[in-house]
Amino acid sequence: MTQPLDPEMFDPVCPSGLMPIRIGDKWAGMIIQCLEEGPRRFSELLVPLRTITPKVLTKSLRALERDGFVVRTVHAGPARHVDYGLTPLGRSLLGLLDAARAWAETHMDELIDARENQ
């Protein structure tokens, strides 16, 4: 069993819109990070991604599934539920996302200055 996701996993004031390196849509990288420790239910993903709407989360998960990064698994039985997990291809993005995040943290002031000067 995986540990619950930290509701504070993503800094609410983080200017993620400034990130010039993006996989998929605005939320894809954060969804992939949420799935790093194992499969999660839709409702679990909403905890740290508290500003995403269910409609947008559904759209992002479908796109990640279409691209082969995420697998959707339906568990049958009396307590039927669905969870989402990373495929090997999705897992291969984790190192890239870590590198992109480190780069953005190093250059955040420059990114903010460049956007403000436009």
Domain definitions of the chain by residue range: 27-117
Per the DSSP assignment, residues forming a β-bridge with 72 are 84
Q: What Å distances lie between residue 6 and 87, 88, 93, CA to CA?
A: 22, 24, 21
Per the DSSP assignment, residues forming a β-bridge with 83 are 41, 73
pLDDT above 60 for 15 = no
SS3 41: strand
pLDDT of residue 7: 76
Tokens representing 116 are: 């403000």
CB-based contact 86:40 (threshold 8 Å): no
Q: What are 35-78's pLDDT values in tens digits?
A: 999 999 999 999 999 889 999 999 999 999 999 999 999 999 88
pLDDT of residue 54: 96
pLDDT of residue 6: 75
Phi, psi of 88 (to 5 degrees): -55, -35
E strands present in 22-80: 40-41, 70-75
CATH architecture of 27-117: Orthogonal Bundle (1.10)
The pTM for the full model equals 0.80
HEC assignment per residue over 71-91: EEEEECCCCCEEEEEECHHHH
Residues above pLDDT 70, as percent of the chain: 87
CB-based contact 82:41 (threshold 8 Å): yes
Q: What are 24-33's pLDDT values in tens digits?
A: 788 999 999 9
Q: What are 74-101's pLDDT values in tens digits?
A: 999 888 999 999 999 999 999 998 888 8
